[in-house]
Amino acid sequence: MLDPRLFRTDLDKVKQQLDRRSFAFDPAPYMALETRRKAVQVKTQELQNERNSRSKLVGQAKAKGEDVQPILDQMQHLGDDLKTAEAELAVVQNEMTALMAIIPNILDESVPDGKNEEANVEVSRWGSVPEFTFTPKDHVDLGAIHNRIDFGLGAKIAGARFVVLNGALARLQRAIIQLMLDTHTAEHGYSETYVPYLVNADSLYGTGQLPKFEADLFKANDDPALYLIPTAEVPVTNIVRDVIVDAKDLPLKFVCHSPCFRSEAGAYGRDVRGMIRQHQFEKVEIVQIVRPDESVRAHEELTRHAEIILEKLNLPYRKMLLCAGDTGFSSAKTYDLEVWLPGQGAYREISSCSNFKDFQARRLQARWRNPETGKPELVHTLNGSGLAAGRTLIAVIENYQDGQGRIHIPDVLLPYMGGVKVIE
């Protein structure tokens, strides 16, 4: 959520910034609510001041032995008026909060203009695209050859956009996940955490999925409302909800492996072939909670940590800076890492690394105590896929295939594969 002071001090600038996202923000409803809020707040404060003055008069009258009942009668009337004013103020403030809850984050100045992914900017590229002496197959055909990627069985058990992995390919995905966890904990300084796969509405509100994106979620029940997590970002970031972190404990760095569940509302017809877009998939998430003056550096660091996994696997990739129109709702700035998939002959997203600045923290009331002032201030939150395990599996399968349809295991994964070097 954006700082309300931005709306009060420079509403035109807020609108200009939101225009970069092509977000249709009409200042009029906000201005009307703000006018109401000011009027009701002034009235409330005046009634509070008058009640306090009357209370002093009661004390003075009692000290003089005078009859205080007339003053008490007036105070009763004041008390009723004050309750009415406070209730009205709460209604206005709730309406303002509801309005601001659907407004996206202000973009960082370094984010380029643009309406969609075609305007994203390539920052760097790593590795060489493999050259094959045969026509490379995609992961669907390779999985069919090995009879180890079974979409039909996934559909039978659950429905469309589910899959069953068997044998060596299931183990290969597990090996990829283990490599990520070992690297991020032993080399990058993250603390591994295990979190619930079901979260409440407050958690999803805190990270920005609710109320705007409820259609993208799987809702498990209504009383109380619980949702399957779309990403471990939600429960992990909520570790600091309503917490004041000691300055000496920052930065907080978490890594978490979890399944992710997404309804893919609005994505029908996109990536219907294969494992690119599933309702359930595995991901290793990295999260950082930092001081505000550290978030720019932390964003580069966190993104680099995801890149290192790709480099360990020797998978060609490129780093993209997302443009204004392609940057997510809560993010101020996002890098996407796109891995080369020979079966598609294209780079596809495998990690998204975002700096949310204080946008999530304000919703979460996640703070740190600044030792210079002694006062609580909002932290900055960041996260990224480190990496999406299913898409990494696809990339390994397609980049390490040979002309006979065999899949060679990358050297860095051999310690996790129990001696298997080639999936025949």
Q: Is 346 annotated as a binding residue?
A: no
Q: Is 381 annotated as a binding residue?
A: no
51 is known as an active-site residue: no
Q: How far is CA 219 from CA 27, 225, 263, 291, in A?
A: 33, 7, 10, 34
21 is known as an active-site residue: no
- Cα–Cα distance, 100 to 34 (Å, whole number): 12
Give the active site residue among 171, 362, 367, 391: 391
Q: Which residues fall within 8 angstroms of residue 329, CB to CB, at 6 or more apart?
A: 104, 105, 208, 212, 213
Q: Is 203 annotated as a binding residue?
A: no
Q: Is 110 annotated as a binding residue?
A: no
Q: Dig out the tokens for 321 from the structure.
A: 């800076």
Decide: 367 and 377 in contact? Cβ < 8 Å: yes
Decide: 281 and 275 in contact? Cβ < 8 Å: yes
β-bridge partners, 378: 367
Q: Is 285 annotated as a binding residue?
A: yes
- Cα–Cα distance, 234 to 162 (Å, whole number): 22
Decide: 172 and 252 in contact? Cβ < 8 Å: no
Place of tokens 């129990």: 418
**Nearest C-alpha neighbor of 176 from the set 398, 404, 395:** 395
- Cα–Cα distance, 335 to 111 (Å, whole number): 10
Q: Is 352 annotated as a binding residue?
A: yes
Give the active site residue among 174, 277, 369, 406: 277
Give the active site residue among 352, 354, 362, 398: 352
391 is known as an active-site residue: yes
Give the active site residue among 262, 362, 363, 367: 262
Q: Is 231 annotated as a binding residue?
A: yes
Separation of CA 293 from chain center? 20
**Nearest C-alpha neighbor of 308 from the set 206, 416, 187, 146:** 187
174 is known as an active-site residue: no
Q: Is 24 annotated as a binding residue?
A: no
Phi and psi, residue 151, nearest 5°: -75, -35
330 is known as an active-site residue: no
Decide: 142 and 398 in contact? Cβ < 8 Å: yes
Q: How far separated are the first and last CA of the chain, in Å rounded?
A: 52
Q: Is 263 annotated as a binding residue?
A: yes
Q: Which residues fall within 8 angstroms of residue 51, CB to CB, at 6 or more apart?
A: 75, 78, 79, 82
β-bridge partners, 335: 321, 353
Give the active site residue among 50, 214, 294, 349: 349
**Nearest C-alpha neighbor of 163 from the set 269, 284, 280:** 280
- Cα–Cα distance, 385 to 349 (Å, whole number): 10
From the annotation, which residues make up the binding site for L-serine?
231-233, 262, 285, 383, 385
From the annotation, which residues make up the binding site?
231-233, 262-264, 285, 349-352, 383, 385
Q: Which residues are designated catalytic?
A: 262, 277, 349, 352, 391
From the annotation, which residues make up the binding site for ATP?
262-264, 349-352
